[in-house]
Structure 1
Amino acid sequence: MFKQAIFDFYEGVRIKNWYSNTWENEYYDDMGWHGLAHMRALEATNDQRHAESSKNLWRWITEGWTDYEGGGIKWRKQSDDLGEAKGIPANGPAAIIAARRYVKYPEESHGGFNNLEWAQRIYDWMKYNRTILSSGRVFEYLDNTNNDFSYNVGTYIGAALELYDITGDKIYFDDAIKVTTYHITYNVDKSYGVLTDYGEQPGGGSGHDVNLFKGIFIRYFILLIQHPDLPVADRDRYIKFITNNAEYLWMAGTQKSPDIKFSYSWWKNPGDAETWGDLRSALSGTMLMEAMATLKGEGLVD
């Protein structure tokens, strides 16, 4: 069943892509998520179509690097011409892809750089252009903390961990801890200590993009919690934090009957007047519950 769903995804998205019969599209962040998914699909199915498609996606992504704003992957193909700012949404997934491809394909190169070099140069652009080094704040706009989204922090953590595991350079691990600690301290609802992103909102169908961002953070946050090199004090704090989020979601932000549906907010019931169960909220909540199940399986939570 799951393999068939992967096969259907491969064919369906490619056919419905507005570029027609290709995985390439206008948005480099979207190609980044597809690139990660295709690499995982290859591992899960050994379907060699994913080897080719993931390679093509990565090549197209590297073509998004320009000198505008000092480097980095742009958001979409016309971004530089329109003066659109670059950010972590395109660069975080790209750095993770580069690092993982280096492990799998160490001889592969694009544009004169091997995959490790790509991972490092993308990471360095994020670190020195989209973080406050002294505090660990990850931002989209320096003067607007509303846009300090969980999505960005999560993929930054993911890239830092990948590079640490490859190089052994502790600076990457320290970076991951610093941005994580900042995020779970400042980007939460102060009354409940639960993650929140500015702009999350109820909505039918797929819901608002922001509703997914907490789940993306959780996906990489748990990798940090699981990492054997994480100091005990940090692990204890992080486990306490994620457990509190999961308890609020289950007790206050979940409709349990007739079907399980998760709220866009993890600490409150949206009420009958609001829409339950948009796709992005469902994915985000599921990632949190999946993370808790993983931690329970490893004996880290009761």
Structure 2
Amino acid sequence: MSGWTERAEELQEVFYRHYWNERTAIMNQWYPLKEGVEGENYYYWWQAHAIDVLVDGWDRSRDEKYLERARELARGLKASNGGTYRHDYYDDMEWTALALLRMYDHTGEEEYKLAVLDLWTDIQTAWNGHMGGGLAWNKNQLDYKNTPANAPAAILAARLHARFGAEDDLVWAKRIYEWNLENLVDPETGFVWDGMNRLGDGRIDYDWAFTYCQGVMIGAGLELHAHTGEIRYLREAERTARATIDRLVDPETGMLPDEGIDDTGLFKGILVRYVKLLIASGAEGAEAWADILRRNGETLRELGIDRASGAIGPSWSEPPAGPVQLSVRLSGVMLAEALATSVIRAATSS
């Protein structure tokens, strides 16, 4: 495990050098940037995760450069989105709110608190009676409900309650979590399904087995346990963590799956972010997950980084064959930052 602090710093610097666009003040979508694609397929929510990754750098190093970069990116994200953080996709706003809440935690700057509360006001409008409740995914498709729109909102609501004390936010966190648990979690195994009624037929997408959904439901359970003391939330997070190993971790290599590019390129990183919190909690399965992250990190370090450019692809077992999307690169940096934390080093050395 030695050297991950230095490796995280190195990967952060290469990431920033490759993707930061000084002119637009947001991250480019590709490295190397393809001719004629600047601005194409602009994914608002990837930028939110880039802010989160920069805050990870601050958490590790306490180097002010990371917060200044995150400030610049937050300003650029708002400007590129028409002068507002509000968006048509509720899950995108939730990720932005979570990132900006961390910015507020570290800087105390009121603009971030106000932005988060404004986003939270808009996010609450997603709740409706279609499919028995839950938050919609998109303002233009209010009857499609999924884990990506609900579990991160439960995390956000619980954290808002913890930061600012509004009891109603805890009520929201519990209500959103319960809807997701009752509708999109396998009651036998704890494995989390992606969504329901995507095509207007009421069906659940049982075949969409993503690391992302497991990560955010684990995170929601951990937050509710932390802020209520109710053990059931921890047990449900542990159950989903076990199911994730059973379904999505290679039993021979311990590797997380290659989930491809575009949005799915971010999914492993999101799982890593919330599994890191599971490890920090000392929950059942913490040591197993610390070992899985260690194996993924060692494989990435040995096999998955392009030696010439420092690029990381969607598979952590082999270097990328061509240009790499921002989403994919973010996941690799999230893994490095997780492995640089003392709690994971301690878990893997015990």
Note whether the superposition's TM-score is higher than 0.5. yes
Contact residue 295 and residue 301 of structure 1 kept, 8 A: no
CA deviation string 1:143-201 (max 9, x = no partner):
65541211111111111001001111111000111101111221134553311154x14
- CA RMSD across the alignment: 2.0
| 1:239 and 2:293 aligned | no
Match of 1:3 in 2: 67
Contact residue 286 and residue 347 of structure 2 kept, 8 A: no
Q: 2:228 aligns with which of 154, 164, 167?
A: 167
Contact residue 262 and residue 277 of structure 1 kept, 8 A: yes
| 1:218 and 2:272 aligned | yes
- Percentage of matched positions with identical amino acids: 33
| 1:104 and 2:154 aligned | no
CA deviation string 1:236-262 (max 9, x = no partner):
22222222222222222121x233221
Match of 2:315 in 1: 265
Task: Give, as a single letter, the amino acid of the residue that structure 2 aligns with 1:137.
Answer: F
| 1:280 and 2:330 aligned | no
CA deviation string 1:182-233 (max 9, x = no partner):
11221134553311154x14xxxxxx110110000000001101114x24xx
Using the TM superposition, name which of 211-220 and 41-50 deviates more: 41-50
Task: Give, as a single letter, the amino acid of the residue that structure 1 aligns with 2:133.
Answer: G
The 1-side partners of 2:133 and 2:244 are apart by 25
Match of 1:205 in 2: none
Give SS of 1:138's match: coil
Match of 1:251 in 2: 302
Q: 1:36 aligns with which of 93, 98, 123?
A: 98
Task: Give, as a single letter, the amino acid of the residue that structure 1 aligns with 2:104.
Answer: L
The 2-side partners of 1:49 and 1:138 are apart by 35
Task: Give, as a single letter, the amino acid of the residue that structure 1 aligns with 2:305.
Answer: T
The 2-side partners of 1:168 and 1:190 are apart by 33
* 1:7, distance to aligned residue in structure 2 (A): 2.6
Using the TM superposition, name which of 170-179 and 5-14 deviates more: 5-14
The 2-side partners of 1:70 and 1:197 are apart by 34
* 1:48, distance to aligned residue in structure 2 (A): 0.7
Q: 1:118 aligns with which of 172, 180, 202?
A: 172
CA deviation string 1:9-51 (max 9, x = no partner):
232222221xx32211111011001110111111122211111
CA deviation string 1:125-154 (max 9, x = no partner):
110010011111101257655412111111
Task: Give, as a single letter, the amino acid of the residue that structure 1 aligns with 2:331.
Answer: S
Which residues of 2 match residues 66-81 of structure 1 at below 5 A? Answer: 66-80=128-142
Give SS of 1:86's match: strand
Contact residue 258 and residue 316 of structure 2 kept, 8 A: no
Contact residue 184 and residue 193 of structure 2 kept, 8 A: yes
Give SS of 2:85's match: coil
Match of 1:111 in 2: none
Contact residue 189 and residue 196 of structure 1 kept, 8 A: yes
> CA 1:144 to 1:191, structure 2 compared with 1: closer, same or farther past 3 Å?
farther
The 2-side partners of 1:188 and 1:23 are apart by 35
Give the length in aligned residue pairs.
278
Match of 1:13 in 2: 77
Give SS of 1:24's match: coil
Match of 1:294 in 2: 341
The 1-side partners of 2:316 and 2:258 are apart by 11
Give SS of 1:75's match: strand
Give SS of 2:134's match: coil
Task: Give, as a single letter, the amino acid of the residue that structure 2 aligns with 1:66.
Answer: N
The 1-side partners of 2:177 and 2:104 are apart by 25
The 1-side partners of 2:112 and 2:287 are apart by 38
> CA 1:248 to 1:292, structure 2 compared with 1: closer, same or farther past 3 Å?
same
The 2-side partners of 1:125 and 1:283 are apart by 30
Match of 2:108 in 1: 46
Which residues of 2 match residues 83-162 of structure 1 at below 5 A? Answer: 83=143, 85-107=144-166, 114-140=168-194, 144-162=205-223
Contact residue 262 and residue 276 of structure 1 kept, 8 A: no
* 1:269, distance to aligned residue in structure 2 (A): 3.5
The 2-side partners of 1:163 and 1:79 are apart by 28
* 1:301, distance to aligned residue in structure 2 (A): 2.8
